[in-house]
Amino acid sequence: MFVSGKRNVLFYWGNISIVADVDRLLLETGLRPDTDFELAVRGLDGQGAQGGMIWGDPRLFESPHATVSVDVPGGVWQMVAQPRGGWPVLSLFGSSLFWLALGCTGLFSLFVAQLNRKQRQLQQGNRELRRSQARFERLAHYDTITGLPNRVLFQQQLTQAIAHGHGLAVLMLDIDGFKQVNDSLGHAMGDLLLQQATARFLQELDSSDRVCRLGGDEFVFMLQGTHGQINHQVRHLLSCLRRPFDLNGNAALVTGSIGLAWCPQHGEDVVNLLRHADTAMYVAKESGRNAWRPYHPDMTQRLQQRLELERNLRRALQHNEFELWYQPKLDLFSGRVEGVEALLRWRDPDHGLVSPGEFIPLAERTGLIIPLGERVLELACAQLAAWRAKDCLPGPLAINVAPLQIERSDYVSSLAVALERHGLSPSLLEVEITESLLMESQQQACAALAQLRAMGVATAVDDFGTGYSSLAYLRALPIDHLKIDRAFIKDLPGDDDAVAIARAIIDLGHALGYHITAEGIETQEQYDFLRNAGCDQGQGFLLGRPMPAEALQAWLDNHRQRHSGSR
């Protein structure tokens, strides 16, 4: 039965049964069968979605819905269902599964981030390790100051060159005067000099040559070429060192000493070549510096003798094998004794007396001059105390001081302690320093001399005339005496130059207020000339030879008798 919308006439066509699967419809909408819901049907004339409303609220077809098509005789109906009050709002944030998934995602992301961070750290660590490894490698094989190969790398290079090359020479170079630069200007300026010297060396070398810094101011070179070519390079290496160095505004002058060993003539392995080049370098240094010497087998023998002498010298210090001899100093006008100079002697138990010319230079080179100087102070003060006890003091006792004693020890304090230990007046001592010490270590030497004079110790410049001190500098020195070196005395009075120099020193010294002493007077003619020239004191074989203390006492007694008799 249907109701006509136009005429409100009821027609009756007959009965029809339609089976609708309501449960399926509800399940399609996500609702249980017992849920309250609203239904609507459309599809007049069997036209489905295009047909008019059959039953229910047409607005249900406009909102979100679930629909199902129902086949009917002659067409299709469309049914829609919706929960009463509207569809429930589904929220992810209200779902525990969502939060579980989100948490798992976060943990996974954190894990991945940690892995990435660890990977970056590992990569960074690998880079740092590689950098630590040019650095460790560089430290192991290169000098940190000059950037040159060090001894280890150079020996490897030299080993390869020996195996493959001919006309190979090894040079050992030592910079003369480097210590003075280091001590006076500081280690930073010393390092700068080494760097500038390295740059000069590299300019003089060929591409096949090698150079390394062994340490300190020692360099070793590996040169390849003919004898003439290498000799030419050696001369150029020495020449490049003689040019002044500009050390941040400070001008420094140095020279070099080079020893050369040829391969295979002087050695066929690294050890022998380096050792023989080093031996030749020491010979060049001892021969006056600013020179080079090729190795010769005789040098090794001399070096062995020097090493044996050094061992014996150390033993002599331990066993007190040294003694002082004394040479009188006389007034050239009155002839009276005005003091004595202490001269060190070494009495070796096997070889007897050893010349000071042999062991003093060795003691200075090895640094043994410092303990040796301490021994001289003790012997001198002990002898002065003995003479004072016997009331037979011959006057002030002069002792010599080596440069190293001033440069590397507190000599003034050592002297003061020795005087105090023996209860002596400082006026009983006179300290003599060489003119070369004044030139090499001016500040230290002047400071030490000033302290000694302040104590009451007389001071003198020994070997005057052999150095290069200026008059202005000489005038400012805190000294009492000048001693004319024997080199200017030996040719008097026959040599005009010697006469001119001796007179000039005497007149200059007196003009500056110094007392003048001449060393090495051996003839009466020398004595007469110096006395007439106005020299104050003299010493030498003509007046009295160096002698032990007992012999000096006998000489003094005899001299007094002769001197009193002549009056």
pLDDT at 426 over 90: yes
Q: Which two tokens stand for residue 438?
A: 């004044």
| Ordered DSSP codes for 320-370 | T-EEEEEEEEEETTT--EEEEEEEEEEEETTTEEEPHHHHHHHHHHHTTHH
Q: What is the pLDDT of residue 394?
A: 87
Q: Are 489 and 479 in contact (CB under 8 A)?
A: no
Q: Is the pTM of this model over 0.75?
A: no
d(CA 510, CA 516): 7
d(CA 273, CA 157): 13
Taking residues 340-361, what's their average pLDDT? 89
| Percent of the chain's residues with pLDDT above 70 | 83
Q: What is the pLDDT of residue 282?
A: 87
- Burial tier of 283 (Cβ tally within 10 Å: 0-12, 13-18, 19+): buried
If pLDDT is split at 50, 70 and 90, which confidence band does 465 have?
A: low
The residue with greater pLDDT, 178 or 29, is 178
Query: Amino acid identity, residue 160?
Result: Q
Alpha carbon of residue 554 to chain centroid: 57
287 Cβ contact list (under 8 Å, min separation 6): 293
Taking residues 187-201, what's their average pLDDT? 93
Residue environment code for 370-403, b if the CB has 16+ CB neighbours within 10 A, otherwise e: bebbbbbbbbbbebbeebeeeeeebebbbbbbbb
pLDDT at 16 over 90: no
Give the length of the chain: 567
Q: What is the pLDDT of residue 10?
A: 41
d(CA 387, CA 436): 33
Q: Which two tokens stand for residue 259?
A: 């020893």
Mean pLDDT estimate for the chain: 83
* Pairing outcome for strands 322-331 and 337-348: antiparallel
If pLDDT is split at 50, 70 and 90, which confidence band does 238 have?
A: very high
Domain 144-295 has CATH 3.30.70.270: yes
Q: Are 84 and 37 in contact (CB under 8 A)?
A: yes
Domain 307-558 has CATH 3.30.420.10: no
pLDDT at 567 over 70: no
If pLDDT is split at 50, 70 and 90, which confidence band does 171 have?
A: very high
Query: Amino acid identity, residue 508?
Result: L
The residue with greater pLDDT, 564 or 409, is 409
Q: What is the pLDDT of residue 4?
A: 44
**Residue boundaries of the structural domains of the chain:** 18-83, 144-295, 307-558
For residue 413, count other CB atoms closer than 10 A to its CB: 10
| Ordered DSSP codes for 268-300 | SSHHHHHHHHHHHHHHHHHTTSSEEEE--HHHH
Q: Which of 10-24, 39-53, 115-129, 173-187 has the lowest mean pLDDT?
A: 10-24
Q: What is the pLDDT of residue 242?
A: 92
Residue-wise pLDDT for 479-500, tens only, equals 888 888 888 899 999 889 889 9
d(CA 204, CA 80): 104
pLDDT at 166 over 90: no
* Closest of 378, 377, 358 to residue 366, by C-alpha: 358
The residue with greater pLDDT, 540 or 473, is 540
Residue 220: which H helix or E strand, with range? strand 218-224
Q: What is the pLDDT of residue 467?
A: 58
Query: Amino acid identity, residue 371?
Result: P
If pLDDT is split at 50, 70 and 90, which confidence band does 7 have?
A: very low
Taking residues 188-210, what's their average pLDDT? 91
If pLDDT is split at 50, 70 and 90, which confidence band does 6 have?
A: very low
Helix (H, G, I), strand (E, B) or coil at 542: coil
Q: Are 267 and 273 in contact (CB under 8 A)?
A: yes
282 Cβ contact list (under 8 Å, min separation 6): 259, 303
Residue 432: which H helix or E strand, with range? strand 429-434
Phi, psi angle pair for 465, to nearest 5°: 105, -15
Q: Which of 86-100, 247-261, 305-319, 511-525 has the lowest mean pLDDT?
A: 86-100
d(CA 118, CA 103): 22
Q: What is the pLDDT of residue 35?
A: 55
Helix (H, G, I), strand (E, B) or coil at 68: strand
d(CA 98, CA 361): 96
Q: Which two tokens stand for residue 247?
A: 């050390």
Query: Amino acid identity, residue 54?
Result: I
Of 21-25, 28-32, 514-518, which has the strongest mean pLDDT? Answer: 514-518
Taking residues 517-536, what's their average pLDDT? 94
Taking residues 48-77, what's their average pLDDT? 78
Asked whether the CA dihedral 524, 334, 453, 416 is positive or negative, the reply is positive
Q: Are 395 and 435 in contact (CB under 8 A)?
A: no
